[in-house]
Amino acid sequence: MKKTGTQLILDALKAEGVKRVFGYPGGCVIPLFDEFLNHKEIEVVRVRHEQAAAHAADGYARVSGKAAVVVATSGPGATNVITGIATAALDSIPMVIITGQVRQSVIGTNAFQEVNTIGISRPVTKHNYLVRKIENIPRIIKEAFFIAQSGRPGPVLIDIPVDVQTSFTSEVLDTETIRHGYKPVSKIREKDIKQAWAMIRHATRPLIYAGGGVVLANSSKELIQFAETTGIPVATTLLGLGCIPGDHPLSLGMLGMHGHYVANTAMARTDLVITLGARFDDRVTGKVETFLAQSKIIHVDIDPSVISKVKDAHLGIVGSVRDALNKFNKIAKRLDIAPWQQELELTQQEHPLVDYSGKKMAENALRPEYIIKLFSEKTKGDAVVVTDVGQHQMFVALYYQFRNPRSLLTSGGLGTMGFCLPAAIGASFHRPRKPVIAFSGDGGFQMNVQELATVKRYNLPIVIVVLNNSNLGMVKQWQDFFWKKRNSSTIFENNPDFVKVAEAYGIEAYRCGNKEELPDLVDKALKSKKPILLEFVIDPDAYVYPMIPPNEDIRNIIEGGDA
Amino acid sequence: MRHVISIVVEDQSGALARIVELFTSRGYNLESICSGEAEEAGIHRLTLVTEGDDRKIKHIIRLLNNIVYVIEVTHLDPTESISQELMLMKIKINPKIRGQVLQLIEAYGGIVIEMNPDTVSFRVLGRASKLDGVTQTFREFKIIEMARTGEAAIHK
Ligand SMILES: Cc1ncc(C[n+]2csc(CCOP(=O)(O)OP(=O)(O)O)c2C)c(N)n1
């Protein structure tokens, strides 16, 4: 039987087990969207902006571990998804993006809604394809999923000209996928594990530096087992949060610019760091010259290009973090590092996070830290928490005590404002048996606010929290600290009424600016089985502490405590 | 430092663009790129020559390996590889210098391809450093046009 290109696309998506796509229609994908009507097994989640489609697919992938699909039209549709693709790329999130393209005969002529999608997306995709022959569709889609989900995951884009979508084929289909050069995972050599263990055994102040790779490799259990057997403390990156419970005795919390004091101190004091699926981002290292200057480095990563990129590793191990941990767990023994553990415990006690339940709270000004802490307690650290980018993101990272991997969804690498609401939509579609809480600032919330319509349309039970400080808090903090308080363009004098905005979309909403009403409102929201928005009017001058100024080290940490 | 990198890659659209972008997006210039079919059909071997910081080049080589279509990447050691490049050059001549030019061409092992009363076109083969020298020499005359293929390299 002759099939059209769009039928082949749908067949291939079904073969990959795709249940839903996130998309937005347009001229060059009309045939594809039409075909979706013939395949009820695949739900089309139609969002209100292509960027949101990509973030939604991203959110879905972060909770499920599987690549989700984005569909957008050519030209502006394709350019709109780029931010979402780049966001996924920098955090190694699998994604398959299908874009429509103008018909082949006019490609390259500046035809209506034509952009060079392949060229524009190349630097932000793991791989991309321009489909020129209909018979290649099955192979390309199969390959795209394989590439997106294997090795170090990432986004793969498939650009399909509209004439390829509508043409018929009766030819033998190309389904054979052979990519000679693509070797996603290397097997870890026992010899390397032995050598690593010898280094670990001789260390007096060993430290595990766990990144997003631990989460991506679903190896949180293995990590905890390794830490508990050996007694080695664990510091995580922003994307690694949740791979060990925040209240675990061996958890030191988050590293980096706004990381926990004890985590950063441990990093400065360690004599052997075991890096697992992390990439020495500059937000973690600060000043590279002094970072780990006294320490040996073992670096395990699935992507060989990450090893020794920023800091030379004394031992680089290429392979899956999970494979490495399993091998370590076979030989690991308790280490004699009590003085080190005690030292860190003391540091922890001497430098806790600032507790804002004190003075400022007495004045009844709502502190963001307090709000996050309350959500953390009321959900017992077991919600799916999505953030936008800025101060609130760091408050969440510091004050929400994550208990599980895949429970913090945040744009770590690209730091994309506007990520939160659509990513929460994607997460909510995965139907976790946990509440989905979306924390945004008033700035980022307005970067994809139109998605309230999507939330409403699918009646997604997301708790949308807007922490409204009437400014672009994180940038303002930098201006206040390092630019003589010259608040250039960071104050929002005329924010909309967020409660009314939500209500206009048909979403129940409440505003709260004092601590008395707070607990009841949080309870109400967490019990709500439908969308709800809470706007908290918070202290406009709340700063995120601690802070290591950019390109500095722990010696220059600002601990805060102005409460 | 000068680096010669040999890349075995599937002959697919987009492969070359991804390779080149790894260099250009980091501000590196490619001195030369030479590409053509390799020992197996459908597979190309590329020889890239670039100048740059050793550590950064090492990182780029790892990134090259991550490109889906790339099969093998080798950082070539000049003592363990053979490399050659072809240069075409057209020189303005006149009866007075004609003899001298032909002699020089011969001295470099070049071969005259076309000769006119006022121009001579020839080719020279050799390592890039030799061709740099040839260019230097002929700058004393008027070079009307010249083109170089970039070095192709294989293991010894
Ligand atoms: C798309 C985008 N544009 C600009 C920035 C730069 N930026 C980083 S944080 C920030 C402020 C965010 O303000 P808001 O959303 O209100 O959150 P807050 O910091 O106040 O919690 C800005 C502008 C960014 N990260 N992303």
Q: Are residues A197 and A328 in the same domain?
A: yes
**pLDDT tens-digit profile of B106-150?**
999 999 999 999 999 999 999 999 999 999 999 999 999 999 999
pLDDT (tens digit per residue) in B64-118: 999 999 999 999 998 899 999 999 999 999 999 999 999 999 999 999 999 999 9
**A324 and A429 in a common domain:** no
Q: Which atom of ligand 1 is nearest to the CA of A392?
A: 21
Query: Is the pLDDT reported for residue A542 higher than 50?
Result: yes
Compute CA B136 distance to the chain's CA centroid, rounded to the nearest angstrom. Answer: 16
Give the integer Cα–Cα distance in Å for A560 and A367: 14
B3 within 8 A of B128, measured Cβ to Cβ = no
- Number of structural domains found in chain A: 3
pLDDT, position B75: 94
Is A415 touching ligand 1 by the criterion CB < 6 Å? Answer: yes
- pLDDT value at position A357? 64
Identity (one letter) of the amino acid at B153? A
Q: Answer whether B10 sits within 8 Å of A181, measured CB to CB.
A: yes
Confidence of residue A181 (pLDDT cuts 50, 70, 90): confident
The whole-angstrom separation of Cα A251 and Cα A262 is 10
Query: What's the average model confidence in pLDDT over A516-529?
Result: 95
Tens digits of per-residue pLDDT, A28-52?
999 999 999 999 999 999 999 999 9
Closest residue by Cα to residue A163 from A100, A108, A113: A100
Q: For tokens 């010696």, name the residue.
A: A555
- A471 CA distance to ligand 1 centroid (A)? 9
In a domain, A335, yes or no: yes
**What's the sign of the alpha-carbon dihedral B9, B11, B12, B14?**
positive
Given an 8 Å threshold on Cβ–Cβ distance, is B66 in contact with A305?
yes
C-beta separation of A536 from A465 below 8 A? yes
The pLDDT tens digits for A369-393 are 999 999 999 999 999 999 999 999 9
Mutation target for A interface from B45, B59, B68: give the one with most A CBs within 10 A. Answer: B68
**Residue A360 belongs to a domain:** no
Residue A359 forms part of a structural domain: no
Cβ neighbours of residue A37 closer than 8 Å, sequence gap 6 or more: none
- The CATH number of the domain where A402 resides is what? 3.40.50.970
d(CA A155, CA B156): 39
- Above 70 in pLDDT, residue A413? yes
Residue A334 tokens read as 């308790």
Determine which residue's CA is closest to atom 8 belonging to ligand 1.
A390
Residues A66/A58, Cβ–Cβ less than 8 Å = no
Provide the 3-class DSSP secondary structure of residue A519.
helix
Token reading at A329: 């767990």
Together in a domain, A226 and A313: yes
Cβ neighbours of residue B143 under 8 Å, at least 6 residues apart? B89, B90, B91, B92, B135
Positive or negative CA dihedral for A530, A395, A264, A476?
positive
Q: Is residue A460 part of a domain?
A: yes
Listed in order, the ranges of chain B carrying CATH 3.30.70.1150 are 82-155
Report the residue of chain A nearest B18, measured CA to CA.
Answer: A122
In a domain, A405, yes or no: yes
CB atoms within 10 A of CB A42: 16
Q: Which residues of chain A are within 8 Å of residue B71 when distances are taken between CB atoms?
A: 180-181
Q: Is the pTM of this model over 0.80?
A: yes
Question: Does A311 lie in the same domain as A208?
Answer: yes
Tell whether A294 and A226 lie within a shared domain: yes
HEC-encoded secondary structure of A405-465? CCCEECCCCCCCCCCHHHHHHHHHHCCCCCCEEEEEEHHHHCCCHHHHHHHHHCCCCEEEE
The encoded tokens of residue A307 equal 């090893």
Model pLDDT for residues B27-50, shown as the tens digit of each residue: 888 999 999 999 999 899 999 999
Instruction: Please compute the mean of the pLDDT values over residues B7-16 and round it to a whole number.
Output: 94
Say if residue A196 is in the same domain as residue A149.
no
DSSP A142-210: HHHHHHHHSSS--EEEEEEEHHHHH-EE-SPP------TT----PPPPHHHHHHHHHHHHH-SSEEEEE
Same domain for A248 and A159, yes or no, is: no
Residue A563: what pLDDT?
45
Residue of B nearest to A309 (CA): B59
Ligand 1 pocket residue status of A417, Cβ below 6 Å: yes
Architecture of domain B82-155 in this structure: 2-Layer Sandwich (3.30)
User: Given this model, what pLDDT does residue B131 score?
Assistant: 97
Please state, in angstroms and rounded to a whole number, the distance separating the CA atoms of residues A387 and A377: 18
DSSP for B22-79, please give it. HHHTTTPPEEEEEEEE-SSTTEEEEEEEEE--HHHHHHHHHHHHHSTTEEEEEEE-GG
Host domain of residue A329: 190-350
**If you average pLDDT over residues A142-150, what whole number do you get?**
96
Report whether pLDDT(A433) > 90.
no
Structure confidence at residue A498 as a pLDDT band (50, 70, 90): very high
What is the pLDDT, as a whole number, of residue A390? 98
Torsion angle of alpha carbons A545, A551, A555, A556, nearest 10°? -50
For range A516-536, the mean pLDDT: 96
| Residue whose CA lies nearest to ligand 1 atom number 11 | A472
Binned at pLDDT 50, 70 and 90, residue A364 comes out as: low
Q: Which atom of ligand 1 is nearest to the CA of A476?
A: 11
- Indicate if ipTM > 0.90: yes
- Kindly state the average pLDDT of the residues A154-161: 98
Domain-embedded: residue A281 = yes
Q: Is the CB of A369 under 6 A from ligand 1?
A: no
User: Which has the higher per-residue pLDDT, A562 or A502?
Assistant: A502
pLDDT score recorded for residue A361: 54
Structural tokens at position B140: 């004393």
Residues A113 and A247 in one domain: no
Comparing alpha-carbon positions, the chain B residue that sits nearest to A181 is B71
Q: Which atom of ligand 1 is nearest to the CA of A447?
A: 1
What's the confidence (pLDDT) of residue A90?
98
Instruction: Give chain A positions within 8 Å (CB) of B72.
Output: 181
Q: Give A490 Cα–ligand 1 centroid separation in angstroms.
A: 9
Q: How far is residue A18's CA from residue A124's CA, in Å, rounded to a whole number? A: 23
Q: Whose CA is nearest to atom 3 of ligand 1?
A: A417
Residues A165 and A224 in one domain: no
At A355 the pLDDT is 78
Options 3.40.50.150, 3.30.70.260, 3.40.50.700, 3.40.50.170; CATH for B2-76 is 3.30.70.260
d(CA A106, CA B70): 30
- A321, A302 in Cβ contact below 8 A? yes
Pick from A149, A180, A183, A299 the residue to mutate for testing the B interface (most B CBs within 10 Å): A180
> How many angstroms separate the first and last alpha carbons of chain A?
73
A97 & A21 share domain: yes
Q: Of A535, A536, A530, which Cα lies nearest the Cα of A509?
A: A535
Q: What would the mean pLDDT of A296-306 be, rounded to a whole number?
A: 96
Same domain, yes or no, for A463 and A528?
A: yes
Residue of higher predicted confidence among A452 and A286:
A452
Instruction: Please check whether residues A70 and A152 belong to one and the same domain.
Output: yes
For residue A235, what is the enclosing H or E element? strand A234-236
Ligand 1 nearest atom to the CA of residue A472, by list position: 13
pLDDT at A458 over 70: yes
pLDDT surpasses 60 at A360: no
CA–CA distances in Å: residue A167 to residues A10, A160, B130: 14, 12, 55
List residues bridging with B145 in a β-sheet. B90
Q: Tell me the mean pLDDT in the region A424-445.
A: 95
Tell me the average pLDDT of chain A.
Answer: 95
Question: What are the chain B neighbours of A307 within 8 Å (beta carbons)?
Answer: 62
C-alpha A360/C-alpha A366 separation (Å) is 8
The pLDDT, as a whole number, for residue B78 is 85
ω into A76 cis (within 30 of 0): no
Provide the CATH number for the domain around residue A275: 3.40.50.1220
**Pairing state of beta strands A20-23 and A68-72?**
parallel
What value does the mean pLDDT take over residues A464-470? 98
pLDDT tops 80 at residue A173:
no
The letter for the amino acid at A560 is: G
In angstroms, the CA A98 to CA A288 distance is: 39
